Chain A
Amino acid sequence: DAGVIQSPRHEVTEMGQEVTLRCKPISGHDYLFWYRQTMMRGLELLIYFNNNVPIDDSGMPEDRFSAKMPNASFSTLKIQPSEPRDSAVYFCAAGSGDRNEQFFGPGTRLTVL
């Protein structure tokens, strides 16, 4: 298995533009997590899904952020409109019913100018 795949690895955009981050989780893992990492705030859980259904989105910072999981092999995190303070590394992670491990993707480094 290739592990969790995220794209793009790097994204540079201008303030006000729409940004879409993509994640392909590990097959057979029914939990998917989106995290944001910054120097100031560390790792923050934004939202997580179980069997493609959003379970807890209390970490989503505001309405500009949205996430979807249309099927078990694909999820997106969208920011519209983007702002400079959204600059961060965004990670997707997969987990299973054995909740004692999450497998992280390599992350997407987002820079909003």
Chain B
Amino acid sequence: EAGVAQSPRYKIIEKRQSVAFWCNPISGHATLYWYQQILGQGPKLLIQFQNNGVVDDSQLPKDRFSAERLKGVDSTLKIQPAKLEDSAVYLCASSPKGGNRPQHFGDGTRLSIL
């Protein structure tokens, strides 16, 4: 089966600019996750979708970050405006709905803020 697709792989922007990331989960996976992984740390969940509804976004900095999954399939994560501390790898993962559902991760987008 095809894996979780993410683009772009790398992005370099200046602070205060905007950036968007795209994720296409594994076909049929109802649950989609966005994580932020800062160098030297584990992934931190930003937002979790079940189909096109938000399950949890308690750790999403909503003043600058937004995410959507309008048709319950692919998703975009946006940062506007970016800050230096947003430099990280942004990971997308998906899993089937229900029990025994390990997550399948994409390769991530490495974001560097200058």
Is B a genuine binding partner of A? no
Interfacial residues, chain A to chain B (CB-CB below 8 A) = none
